[in-house]
């Protein structure tokens, strides 16, 4: 499989997305094209094109005064995106399984390995980025550009919502979660039917778990999962 070469606009989009996912750029923060242009060493036209792509994904908002800000999402927004993802991602893994390659295997395996390392060092930010990249790679490598576009549109906002402010609210054994991703990877190699079945089960379990925890945070105003620290303290 020949992987696409990233354009300058795509490189800038990913750089800004990384800042959003890691909380460097906060929800509601104004994005200044001139400042980003200098920081990233590219033209303002390239930054503008990257911001338009992020706007199409719903990650940034263009306001009436023509300013561009990092989008704010509600829990209700995230739950709706979760529901769409459960339907879409099994189709993406089935498509990927049908054209499975060593390059795809290596790309996804690297993200699983990064999740394992991040869980062992208790670096939840790195764990979250590896998790996000794993799922985006599934869409990108599926061979279907429409799945890739849809995956970008529905996946980034929930990851940004969770990684920025709510990751520690999810009482999860993150090393075990890395192994769950390994099971998905193994299923993709087994064939489209197994890939879709395992992925659907994985997503339903994780998204139901996340929904309950995030609703508790929303209701109580405090993290539901402070036991997370204890779970990560002595990873197996």
Same domain, 192 and 221: yes
Region class of 66: left (phi > 0), else alpha (psi between -120 and 50), else beta: left
CATH number of 28's domain? 1.10.10.10
Q: What's the confidence (pLDDT) of residue 232?
A: 33
Higher pLDDT, 126 or 217: 126
What CATH number is attached to the domain comprising 79? 1.20.120.530
* Same domain (yes/no): 146, 217: yes
Say if residue 57 is in the same domain as residue 94. Answer: no
For the ranges 44-48, 55-59, 201-205, the lowest mean pLDDT is seen at 55-59
What pTM was computed for the model? 0.77
Q: Which domain holds residue 53?
A: 8-70
pLDDT of residue 223: 40
Span 199-207, average pLDDT: 90
**Sequence-distant (≥ 6) Cβ neighbours of residue 74 within 8 angstroms:** none
How many domains would you assign to the chain? 2
pLDDT, greater one: 58 or 65? 58
3 state SS of 30: strand
């Amino acid at each position: 499989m020949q992987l696409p070469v990233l354009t300058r606009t795509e490189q800038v989009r990913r750089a800004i997305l990384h800042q959003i996912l890691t909380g460097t750029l906060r929800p509601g923060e104004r994005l200044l094209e001139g400042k980003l242009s200098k920081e990233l060493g590219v033209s303002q036209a390239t930054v503008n094109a990257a911001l338009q792509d992020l706007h199409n994904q719903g990650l940034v908002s263009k306001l009436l005064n023509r300013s561009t800000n990092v989008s704010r999402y509600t829990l209700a927004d995230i739950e709706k995106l979760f529901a769409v993802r459960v339907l879409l991602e099994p189709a993406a893994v089935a498509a990927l399984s049908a054209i499975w390659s060593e390059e795809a295997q290596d790309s996804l395996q690297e993200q699983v390995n990064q999740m394992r390392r991040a869980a062992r060092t208790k670096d939840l930010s790195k764990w979250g980025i590896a998790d996000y990249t794993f799922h985006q790679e599934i869409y990108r490598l599926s061979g279907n550009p429409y799945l890739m576009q849809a995956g970008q549109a529905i996946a980034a906002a929930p990851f940004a919502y969770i990684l920025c402010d709510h990751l520690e609210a999810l009482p999860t054994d993150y090393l075990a979660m890395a192994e769950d991703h390994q099971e998905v990877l193994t299923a993709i190699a087994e064939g489209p039917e197994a890939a879709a079945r395992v992925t659907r089960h994985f997503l339903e379990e994780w998204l139901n778990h996340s929904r309950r925890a995030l609703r508790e945070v929303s209701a109580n105003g405090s993290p539901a999962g402070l036991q997370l620290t204890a779970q990560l303290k002595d990873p197996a």
